[in-house]
Chains A and B, each alone.
Chain A
Amino acid sequence: MLNQNKLLVKLNNAGVKKNNKWLVKGVSLEIYKGQIVTLIGPNGSGKTTTAKIVLDIFKIDEGEVTKNTNKLAYVPQKIAIDWTLPLRVFDFMTLTCKLKISEIEDALSLTGVVGHLYNDIRNLSGGEFQRVLIARAIAKKPELLILDEPVQGVDYSGEIALYNLIKKISKDFNCGILLISHDLHFVMSATDHVICLNGHICCSGAPSVVSKNPAYLELFGERTSSTLSLYEHKHDHTHDSDGSISK
């Protein structure tokens, strides 16, 4: 079914070597339009490296990369804005492309931070900043969106809110999404395909398949198999990423 959609990016047996050490090796993956692919793995397993191969920041030393789009947008793991640089959300939004003010406002509205348009970036909370980062990435209407641990440093309810937002983005924009998750046991329920990395691909497939895969169990232990499921519950209210309550 997914194959009817456009293939955006394909890695075939890709590997990157630095100082004679393979950061990742033998990584193959495909991302189609409208698909959400999640990368999980322990620290240093090459998740970010894999994302950077897709982004062309790292050149591969073996294998091949096929890319059918150049409309990429990136939400990096951490950004520290130096104090010496006065930067408002508005300046940040137009960092890599020209945008109409209406496009900027639409993107910020979608992520719920339009009220901060002329605020200095350093005055935002962690959750607000994440939402600005995501808004900046989607404002240029990318075909492929790469998010590196977008829920890092956001509390649990904010995490759910951000995941719902990502799900909505994938639907609304029909773009491919490569998501790096810091959490090994908790994968977004909307994920189509999970890839578990540990220097190489240790297993991959639909979320429910990966959780039962022996390679996954060996890597993360028996106990985790019972906890890899998304706990979804209903509330009469929701929390924003900063924890405040909204209806």
Chain B
Amino acid sequence: MFDDFFIRALIAGIGVAIVAGPLGCLVIWRRLSYFGDTLAHSALLGVTFAYSFELNASFSVFIISAVIGLLLLSLQKRTKLPGDALLGILSHASLAVGLVIIGFLSFIRIDLMSLLFGDILAVSLQEILIIWVGGFLILIILFFIWKSLFAATVNYELAAAEGMNPDRTNLIFTILLAGVIAISIKMVGILLITGLLLIPAAMSRNFSKGPYQMVFFSAIGGVLSVIVGLFASLEFDIASGPAIITVALVFFILSLIPLKK
């Protein structure tokens, strides 16, 4: 049962989960779950661009998500629309436009299900390389901006007052989020990416005493979810994304039990 493709899927999935750990914590702390969703939905638009202009899919998703993310940041400062309405508009608009474009691309057969829910069992060697190199870059950049990002997460004004330059860090963080979405789209699909970011981090919160501990267990939880989820996906012939997220959910429920003392 340990076919070559399965090992590839495991390696790719573990890479994504390690990167999703710290970023998922930040998304929860900063209350950005819907922001993450919006970026993920815009990924569909990125995929259609990849097909239309024959670009690398991960690269195209990254660019489009980053553009949408930066657009959101600047719109939030400039319009009077509340943040959640703005997110809803961009999120559904990009999803809808993406689906419309796919409709026009009738000359290419696109497996919509795998786009929406992930198809990691079909991951190629090149895609693994993108996941690990991209993931490594994301973690390196995160390491360098961590202090400022974390300070701004606790209190924006404190960070701004004491020279941490939170606006610049927010910008970089948005681009990193777009990067995570680009490398995880193959694994869990557009609709479930935020789940992969949020659920292991939420699980980790239930027993973590400090922020670094939470980041660590979030990554561990993500990796375990990927491993168990992939086995389930192979065994029961279900899409990899829902399988991984369901396993993460089970871990989350288990993490709640000690609280009921």
Is B122 in contact with chain A by the CB < 8 A criterion? no
Say if the beta carbon of A85 comes within 8 Å of chain B: yes
| Centre residue among A56, A73, A95, A146 by max chain B CB count within 10 A | A95
Nearest chain A residue, comparing its CB with the CB of B208: A86
Given contacts A95-B151, A96-B147, contact A74 B157 (CB under 8 A): yes
Q: CB-defined interface of B17-33 with A at 8 Å, one 1/0 digit per residue?
A: 00000000000110100
Interface string of A57-99 (1 = CB under 8 A from B): 1000000000000101110100101101111101110011100
In the assembled complex, the CB of A54 is this many whole angstroms from the nearest CB of chain B, namely 9
Question: Number of B residues contacting the other chain (C-beta, 8 Å)?
Answer: 25
Cβ-closest chain B residue relative to A88: B210
Task: Give the distance in Å from the alpha carbon of A73 to the alpha carbon of B161 in the complex.
Answer: 7
B254 at the A interface (CB under 8 A): no
Shortest CB distance A138–B (Å): 13
Query: What is the distance, in angstroms, from B13's C-beta to the closest C-beta of chain A?
Result: 25
Q: Please determine whether A85 and B153 come into contact, CB atoms closer than 8 angstroms.
A: yes
Q: Is B74 an interface residue (CB 8 A)?
A: no
The reply to whether the CB of B155 lies closer than 8 angstroms to some CB of chain A is yes
Question: Interface of chain B, helix or strand or loop or mixed?
Answer: helix
B29–A57 contact, CB under 8 A?
A: no
Instruction: Give the Cβ gap from B154 to chain A, nearest Cβ, in Å.
Output: 6
Alpha-carbon distance A92/B155, docked complex (angstroms): 10
> From residue A180, how far is it (CB to closest CB) to chain B in Å?
13
The contact string, 1 if C-beta is below 8 Å from chain A, for chain B 159-174, is 1111110000000000
B163 touches A79 (CB 8 A): no
* Residue A192, interface by CB 8 Å: no
CA of A209 to CA of B162, assembled, Å: 34
Q: Chain A residues near B29: list those with CB within 8 A.
A: 82, 84-85
Is A55's beta carbon under 8 Å from chain B?
Answer: yes
Q: A183 interface residue, CB < 8 Å from B?
A: no
Given contacts A70-B163, A74-B162, A95-B151, contact A86 B157 (CB under 8 A): no
Q: What is the bound-complex CA distance between A96 and B205, given in angstroms?
A: 23
Contact A56 B161 (CB under 8 A): yes
Name the residue in B29, B161, B205, B213 with the highest tally of chain A Cβ atoms < 10 Å from its Cβ.
B161
Pairwise interchain contact B161-A72, C-beta atoms closer than 8 A: yes
- Residue pairs across A and B with CB atoms within 8 Å: the count is 68
Evaluate contact between B151 and A96: CB separation under 8 angstroms.
yes
- Indicate which residue in A57, A74, A76, A84 contacts B28 across the interface (CB closer than 8 Å): A84
Inter-chain contact B162/A73, CB cutoff 8 Å:
yes
- Give the shortest distance, in Å, between B233 (CB) and chain A (any CB): 29
Is A222 an interface residue, CB under 8 A from the partner? no
Contact with A along B203-225 (1 / 0, CB 8 A): 00100111101100000000000
Tell me the bound Cα distance from A132 to B29 in angstroms.
21
Complex Cα distance A144/B209, Å?
A: 33
Asked whether, in the complex, the Cβ of A55 is within 8 Å of the Cβ of B161, the reply is yes
CB within 8 Å of A: which B113-162 residues: 147, 150-151, 153-155, 157-162
Q: Is A242 an interface residue (CB 8 A)?
A: no
Residue contact B157 to A76, C-beta cutoff 8 Å: yes
Are A57 and B153 in contact (CB-based, < 8 A)? no
| CB neighbours of A84 from chain B (8 A) | 28-29, 202, 205
How many angstroms between the C-alpha atoms of A85 and B211 in the bound complex? Answer: 7
- Rounded to whole Å, the gap between the CB of B155 and the closest CB of chain A is 5
* Among B150, B202, B213, residue most surrounded by chain A Cβ atoms (within 10 Å): B150
* Residues of chain A lying within 8 A (CB to CB) of residue B155: 76, 79
CB pair A91 B157 closer than 8 Å: no
CA distance A26 to B150 in the complex (A): 35
Residue of A56, A87, A97 contacting most chain B CB atoms (<10 Å) = A87
Q: How far is the CB of A56 from chain B (nearest CB, A)?
A: 7
Q: What are 29 residue pairs bridging A and B, where the CB atoms are less than 8 Å apart in the complex?
A: A55-B157, A55-B160, A57-B161, A72-B161, A74-B158, A76-B157, A76-B158, A79-B154, A79-B155, A79-B158, A84-B28, A84-B202, A85-B154, A85-B211, A86-B208, A86-B209, A86-B211, A86-B213, A86-B214, A87-B154, A87-B211, A91-B210, A91-B211, A92-B154, A95-B154, A96-B163, A96-B164, A120-B209, A146-B161
**A interface vs B, CB < 8 Å?**
52, 55-57, 70, 72-74, 76, 79, 81-82, 84-88, 90-92, 95-97, 120, 146
